[in-house]
Amino acid sequence: MTRAAVSAPLDLTDPAVVADPYPAFARARAEAPVQWHEGLGLWLAFTHAEANAVLRDRRLGRIWSDRQPAERFENFNLIHRNAILEMEPPDHTRLRRLISTAFARGHVERLRPWVEELAGRLAGELVERSAGSEPVDLLSGMAEELPVAVIAELLGVPEADRPLLRPWSNAIVKMYEYGRTTEIEDDAERAADEFVAYLRELAAERRTTPGEDLVSHLVAVRDAEGDRLTEDELVTTCILLLNAGHEATVNVSGNGTLALLRNRDQLARVRADRSLLPGAIEELIRYDSPLQLFERTATTDVQIGGITVERGQKIAALLGAANRDPAVFADPDRLDVGRTENAHITFGAGIHFCIGAPLARVELQATFGALLDRTSRIELGGEPQRRPEFVIRGLHTLPVVLTA
């Protein structure tokens, strides 16, 4: 096996890399498209072509292996063993067909007016509290609240129960980081246990009293052969929608707003020409990716970027590095809300392309549209605090001052 030499290995725990990984990506990308990371024990794909190949090559699969010891991670394993994100055909094909059939009932368009109304209300409340002088936290006041409320509305979770969802999700997704503590792992399993139990009860209720929510449709959906979701698959699908959906939207909202505040000419452009907003959202998604790393496992020896990924080895697509590749994006380190050639891979590629991407785009357009509609000026109101993790890239706080 040939392993590309790395003169300065990428340290995912380095605070400087967590704060701004893009210079390190550029240095590594210039050295070799795919490189071995000894500490992680896997290959890293730094270029757009190689990262895209990692996501699309069917010889590189999502092969789930239960966390060990299995009895310690019973419910964490359950919600991944039955997840569409962790499956390959034919299981993936069957599950995606059933989920897509339930989604096809018009849930995204059904929610669009509700999402826009909620975004407008949250933005209005923040503007009122700030009143042009008082810093308010955009993360807790809007970016975190909106996507959780949207997923809860989609699933039909009663309003009284909605505060439970984000803490469960936050605890579970910390398991995707490297260098976890025992406490983090215990918290993730506890959250998975509580979340699974809650959704089993919700699904049982929807079987007897169905509504127009997605859980009701997932309970009822059948394909042409009469196949339907198992209860574990239904529960897992709902958890995946919350975990993947809200994390991406929260972090694009925070990362994107910060990017606009640090590139005020681009903020002025989209404020002056609202027709730029859909493309601006794609640019914000590309510019500072909410998910930085996505793993695959080789089911046979695979050639990627001049190296051989041997059967059983892992290789990860570095999405943020791919999205700043100068071979694909002109002036990639520049934020350009008018960018028209934007082949970012933030939502993945191939059969695992994010099923919730249309809903995420509705939420993000509503969020940024509401902020622009309700304000004449947005300014930083203090130093943002970044989350210390590398894989899921986002902020803890984003203080802003909003003027109506």
The whole-angstrom separation of Cα 308 and Cα 43 is 10
Local confidence band at 46 (pLDDT 50, 70, 90 cut-offs) = very high
* pLDDT for position 6: 47
* pLDDT for position 310: 96
Q: What's the whole-number average pLDDT of the chain?
A: 92
* pLDDT for position 4: 53
Q: Which of 109-118, 200-209, 221-230 has the lowest mean pLDDT?
A: 221-230
* pLDDT at residue 1 greater than cutoff 50: no
Q: Which of 51, 58, 127 is nearest to 90 (CA)?
A: 58
Q: Report, as an integer, the average pLDDT of 123-128.
A: 97
* pLDDT for position 328: 97
DSSP result, 195-249? HHHHHHHHHHHHHHS--SSHHHHHHH---TT-----HHHHHHHHHHHHHHHHHHH
* pLDDT for position 146: 94
Q: Which two tokens stand for residue 35?
A: 């490189």
Local confidence band at 116 (pLDDT 50, 70, 90 cut-offs) = very high
Q: Which domains does the chain have, with CATH numbers?
A: 70-288+349-403 (1.10.630.10)
Q: pLDDT per residue over 340-352, tens digit each? A: 999 999 999 999 8
- Over pLDDT 70: what percentage of the chain? 97
* pLDDT at residue 199 greater than cutoff 80: yes
Give the phi and the psi of residue 60 in degrees, each rounded to 5: -110, 105
What angle is formed at CA 220 by the lines to CA 215 and CA 226, rounded to 5 degrees? 140
Q: Are 280 and 337 in contact, with CB atoms under 8 Å apart?
A: yes
* pLDDT for position 108: 85
Q: pLDDT per residue over 69-79, tens digit each? A: 999 999 999 99
